[in-house]
Structures are given as C-alpha cells and as structure tokens.
Amino acid sequence: MIDPQRLLDWRFEETVQAYNERDTTIYNLGIGLGADPMDAGQLRFVTIEKDLLAFPTMAVVLARPPSISADPRSGINRTMVVHGEQGLELLRPLAPAGRVRSAARVSAVVDKGPGKGAVIYVESTLSDDASGAPIARLWSSTFARADGGFGGSSEAPRTPHRIPEGRAPDAVCDLPTFPNQALLYRLNGDLNPLHSDPATARRAGFERPILHGLCTYGVCAHAVLRSYCGYDPARLRGFDLRFSAPVIPGETISVEMWREGEVVSFRALVRARNAKVVDNGRAVVAS
C-alpha cells in the first residue's frame, strides 16, 4: 500500500545525461517525424548530417529521474500504472547534442479512493550541466490504477485546462503511428514491458502493447509545430496535456486545435474507434 509521506519525502539523486545527434534523431523518428520523407519541415529533424534540429519535447526524456513505480519501496503496483498528465515549459531551445542535468521532487500524492486509484505528481528542472542554465521545467502525473484508498488527500494540485466549447476547431492535423512505433520509441529509455510484451499488456487489461504516453505527447506536439509554428522548434514555449486513453501502435491520431493568441488548446482522437486519447491540451506558441 502507498504511504503518501514516504513518497513526498522521496529523495531523487540528480541525473546527468550526455546525448548526441544520433540520440536526437532516434527521438525524432520515434515520435513519427520523417514519416513523409518529402516534407522539408520534417527532414530538418531527421537528417543527422545537415543542421539537425532537436524537437522541443525531447526535453521530457533527457536525464529522466528513475521511475518511482519501478521501485518496490513505493508500494505501487507497477503493472497497473499509466501516465496521467505531462507538462513542459521551455526556457530556451534544446540543442541537438549536449550534456544535461535534472533535479526532481514529488510535489503531491492524491488518493482518489478505494478502487479508484492514486495520482503521484513529480516536478523537475532540466539544466545545462556545464553552465547550470535552466533549459526546461517539467511536471508529470502517474495514475496508479490499483493503489487508491490509503487515506491521503483527494485534492489535485492542478486544474485541467478547458477546451473551447461551442465552435469547431481552427485546425485539425491527422498523424499516423506505426505498428512498431513503441519498439522504436522505447530506445529513448522507457523499457516498461507494457509497451513491448504482449503478455504484460494482457495482464494490465490491454489486448496488445500500447504506445508510450510520451510518444503520444510528442505526436501531439508535432501537430502543433506543423500547424502553428512552421516547424520552428523555438516557437514552442509550453506544452501540457492529460492522457485520457491509450493509443495502440498503428492508429492515426487526429489532433483538434483552437488558437487564442499565443495559446493553442487541443485534444486528440483516434477516430477509427471513437476514442479521445488526449484532453485538456494547452500549448504556448510564440508569434
């Protein structure tokens, strides 16, 4: 059973990671960039020998702290864990190669009640290792589906962003995923067998391995960068969303977007099975 105070007191060691242009290209390919090899905008992110660009959401996989749910001391049933929310504030463009450092902490533990699960919030800062200059601030929530009822607070620390109502989206971007995409995306470091092993996926209640939430996150950011930023990564300043259902590799993700000034609200659907897979999305884009 979860002990909320133990999680709030959890000590993360600072994590340092050096990465290079090959790592950046693997990330970019893993979220589907380069699917159209004739699209000059996408090629800027996958042509390693020619002014390679880092995709902004790569910040969420660099120097990631160890997963709490993978540690038996947490009391979390790892098999029943899914990514709940992810947020990112970009303070400067990400370089295609470098050495970075992250510092993390558990900011909240929410008890949704017996049979309803728990939500664990983690915040971190990604910085350049040499200069100490911050690159990005990140936050995420983990939904531990089997671990509610430990008597903790039920108050969530964040209010979901509201999608505009009563009008059609200003833009819609359909992006395909591929049957083997989770196997490629896991090369970024998330080796959870939920995304690669059919038996593990079935034990978790899925017919087959599901796409990483952070891969879906990158696909949605691709839709915003393509639709509103002209594939200029420096224009994306913030990117938050809530995962509402898993994506099966091979499905097409349809991202609906509404723009109001520098804020792009969005949600994502898999229309083939009438599923909303992302909700409450908020991107901040510079003009």
Known catalytic residues? Answer: 190, 195, 210, 213
| Residue 177 CB contacts under 8 Å (≥ 6 apart), including other chains | 32, 211, 215, 219, 247, 249, 250, 251, 252, 253
Max Cα distance, the chain (Å): 55
Side chain identity, residue 253? I
| DSSP per-residue codes, 100-163 | EEEEEEEEEEEE--TTT-EEEEEEEEEEETTT--EEEEEEEEEEETT---SS-----SSPPPPP
Whole-number Å distance between alpha carbons of 10 and 109: 12
